[in-house]
Amino acid sequence: MPNYVPSPDEVAAAITPKGGWTKKQLAEWGVPWPAPPGWRKHLEAKWKGEDVAPLARQEPDQDALF
């Protein structure tokens, strides 16, 4: 089942009081956690009907684990 694609206004309206988005909300839109850079532009392009590649999940640098 494809994920729901919100309008830019819906994305803006879903901002939490702390100024971000919840992991649950992003998951409903098909955005991986942590949200990669450019995820809002990606959703907007998808909402406009543009053919966009799936968002890549960001993996932490291995060096950051040590």
Q: Where are the beta strands (DSSP E) in the chain?
A: none
DSSP state of 30: T
pLDDT band for 55, please (50, 70, 90 cuts). Answer: confident
* pTM of the full structure: 0.77
> Residue 49: what residue type?
G
Count Cβ atoms below 10 Å from residue 29 Cβ, excluding itself: 21
- CA–CA gap between residue 31 and residue 33 (Å, rounded): 7
- CA–CA gap between residue 17 and residue 44 (Å, rounded): 22
List pLDDT tens digits, range 6-34: 999 999 999 999 999 999 999 999 999 99
